[in-house]
Amino acid sequence: MTARRLMILILVLICGVATTPAVSVPASVVPADNAPTVIPFELIARHIFVKIKVNNSEPLSVIFDTGDKFAIIDLDRAKSLGLKLEGEINVGGAGAGVLKGAYVKESSFTVPGLEGFTQPVTLALPLDMLEPNFGHDVDGIIGADFIKQFVVEVDYPARLLRLHDKQKFSYSGPGEIISIRFDQGGHPIIHGEVMLRGRDPIKGEFVIDLGSGGSLALHRPFVEEQHLPSPDQKTIRAMGGGGTGGEITGRVGRIAGFRIGKFTIDNPITMFSTDAKGALANASIQGNIGEQIMSRFKILLDYDRNRIILEPNAKFKEPMDRASSGLKILAEGKDYRTFRIKEVLEDSPATEAGLQKADLITAINERPTAELTLTQLLEQFERAVPYRLTVRREEQTLRVTITPRKMV
């Protein structure tokens, strides 16, 4: 499942959004010994969630997203906090839909543990449609305008962001420095190579999108131009992906490899988009690189120097061999502990087990699912072992066994 990459470029072109005011970062933000400020994060459905406060509110959960530029707050949350909203804006993202929101005036956010820092909140957009996909509140999104105030180190295994003083930062580690450029929406773009069996590598430009829980997503114009996937290539229907613009469409398979600098990811899961609108129909770049690739590195986002630095971590050489259940599951209820099947993939372990759309999964191996988060439930289904499910279908209670398997 992938969240969304907000295409603020659409907003800039259509609505004439002014540049976000410059933010001064006081010296007190970075400790006197020049050690980085450490911010913990949660990894929820392969997305980085951090805590912020808006106008001294209670802590809010927001997505850290390199595919976003401005600080965004959920529209309903903005109203509940009494924020000043003006005008109407339309923003597109992954999928073909458009969100209607408003500008936020005279509000700012702070980050617990990051003393002396404050930054304006720019937009209010309805984000509640994302919450069932995460099983978690989505109070907002922060992106490039925050990142560029620091050198941001993303350490997935430790679940930490380390914020370095960008003026004093100097790198001398074992990683590789990769040049980036930014599009008008503030999204970081790098050069990469798509490696196909029996063909020369294909060079292209790709968005580094930490707001995507996917692996590699190739945009529809590139897919069509390169005649992908090949007729003899095994693929399955893309299911479970989407974002602020709604569901995305395409096929999921694999390519021989994907190269960034000197690093090659072998046999990565790849989505071949068929979207006619939205971010994945963008012809100016060739694709998006999501968490399933980027989490194999320690990442240093050094926007002031137009670069990122990649250091492979212990996960780098692990094959992408997770199993699939063939289920799209959403979390319902105020506590997100009611798990309903939204969609069932054809010819999958789910269909073989007799599961159907709208079924409620109430227990796994006799353990009530109310004791699990959606992330924990989905991670279980990535292992190719049998699971005994208790399922409620209307007035019936069923017990079925499902064995996820590698499908591509």
Radius of gyration from C-alpha coordinates of the chain = 21
Q: 3-state class of 53 per DSSP?
A: strand
The backbone region for 127, taken as left when phi is positive above 0, alpha when psi lies in -120 to 50, beta otherwise, is alpha
Exposure of 332 by Cβ count < 10 A (0-12 exposed, 13-18 middle, 19+ buried)?
middle
Q: What is the pLDDT of residue 94?
A: 54
Indicate the pLDDT class of residue 73, thresholds 50, 70 and 90.
very high
- 184 vs 6, more confident: 184
With a pLDDT cut of 70, the percent of the chain lying above it is 89
Tracing tokens 């004439």 back to the chain, one arrives at 16
Whether 82 and 22 have beta carbons less than 8 Å apart is answered as no
Structure tokens at 239: 């299911």
Asked whether residue 5 carries a pLDDT value surpassing 70, the answer given is no
Indicate the pLDDT class of residue 27, thresholds 50, 70 and 90.
very low
In the predicted model, what is the mean pLDDT of residues 263-284? 93
Indicate the pLDDT class of residue 74, thresholds 50, 70 and 90.
very high
CA distance 379 to 351: 19
What digits encode the pLDDT tens for the residues 223-249?
Answer: 999 999 999 899 999 986 655 545 789
With a pLDDT cut of 90, the percent of the chain lying above it is 82
CA distance 194 to 251: 17
Q: What is the pLDDT of residue 12?
A: 32
* Nearest CA among 140, 114, 130, 146 for reference residue 60: 140
* Nearest CA among 257, 292, 261 for reference residue 192: 261
Strands 119-120 and 257-260 turn out to be unpaired
